[in-house]
Amino acid sequence: MRINKYLAESGVASRRSSEQFVLAGRVKLNGKTVTALSTEVNVENDTVLLDGKKVKPMTKHIYLMLNKPKGYITTTSDEKGRKTVMDLVTEYQRERLFPVGRLDYETEGLLLLTTDGELANRIAHPRHEIPKTYVARVEGELTRQEVETLSRGVTLDDGTVTKRCKVCLLGVENKLSRIEVVITEGKNRQVRRMFAALNRHVVFLKRMAIGELKVGGLTRGTHRPLKAFEIEYLKKL
């Protein structure tokens, strides 16, 4: 098994993050620092250390669904002392749990957390184009033309163009448009930036679903283990 896959399956981090650990010289195999991603690990006999701590393969992974409230950073720790999503799952503080992908500080909704780095990598990788459903409230009344523009793709502030997506105007109330957006990409703060490209300000944003997994029924700030069929669904994506 390759070294980055070994780290990911041990719950250290996603495979992509594990690659960075190897390239940074933070990993040792049988006492020797390794920096080649092609390094093979014998699961039965080899000893792997990350930052001097032994890494052991996990026998059983943890899979959680969290309804993230705004005001939390989607990371395992924060150098500025801000609240992170790990503060919402304190009973798992001894586990090597980490969030799959990100939701920004102000965004609410469905966030997956796991110790399974291999699965996390597959879910987060853009080539799999897993649909993610958001509901946004945006200042002003969106026109039909703006909805069509968003669905065809817009140019973001860094010059990149978004892929085609599904956009549906759900209604207008108190001078706010309620819009459902389904994207298959994962650019940083993408939905907010898409509306910014139309000079529209998002006042509320919530991720409702990842694929067929929905956050409905889960109170804001609470979490639950994924059910067996939900885990199988994610593994088949």
**Cβ atoms within 10 Å of 80's Cβ, excluding its own:** 5
Are the CB atoms for 95 and 62 separated by under 8 Å?
yes
More confidently predicted of 76 and 223: 223
Pairing mode, strands 108-114 and 202-210: parallel
CATH number of 131-210: 3.30.70.1560
Domains 3-54 and 131-210 fall in the same CATH topology: no
Across the strands, what pairs with 29? 32, 48
Give the Cβ contact number of residue 48 at 10 Å: 22
Interval 148-170: pLDDT, tens: 999 999 999 999 999 999 999 99
Q: What is the mean predicted confidence (pLDDT) over 42-59?
A: 86
> Which two structure tokens, joined as six digits, stand for 23?
């390239």
Q: What pLDDT digit, counting tens, does each position of 124-144 carry?
A: 777 778 999 999 999 999 999
**Token output for 26:** 């933070």
* Enclosing H/E stretch for 132: strand 132-139
Give the C-alpha separation, 125 to 14, whole Å: 10
User: pLDDT at residue 47 above 80?
Assistant: yes
Do residues 30 and 18 lie in contact, with contact meaning Cβ atoms separated by under 8 Å? no
Q: Does residue 12 have a pLDDT over 90?
A: no
Our answer to whether residue 51 is catalytic in this structure is: no
135: alpha, beta or left? (left if phi > 0; alpha if psi -120 to 50): beta
**Is 3.40.50.720 the CATH classification of the domain at 63-127+213-236?**
no
Q: With residue 232 as reference, give the H or E element that holds it.
A: helix 228-236
How sure is the predictor about 56, in pLDDT bands with cuts at 50, 70 and 90? confident
Active-site residue, selected from the candidate residues 104, 116, 157, 158: 104
DSSP letters, 146-206, are HHHHHHH--B-TTS-BPPP-EEEEEEEETTEEEEEEEES---TTHHHHHHHTTT--EEEEE
CA pair distance 176, 213, nearest whole angstrom:
27
Q: What is the pLDDT of residue 106?
A: 96
Q: How is residue 49 written in tokens?
A: 């250390």
Locus of tokens 């039909």: 144
Give the CATH architecture of domain 3-54: Roll (3.10)
pLDDT of residue 59: 66
For the chain, domain boundaries: 3-54, 63-127+213-236, 131-210
The reported pLDDT for the residue numbered 1 is 84
- Contact between 223 and 60 (Cβ < 8 Å): no
User: Phi, psi (5° rounding) for residue 38?
Assistant: -85, -5
Amino acid at site 86: M
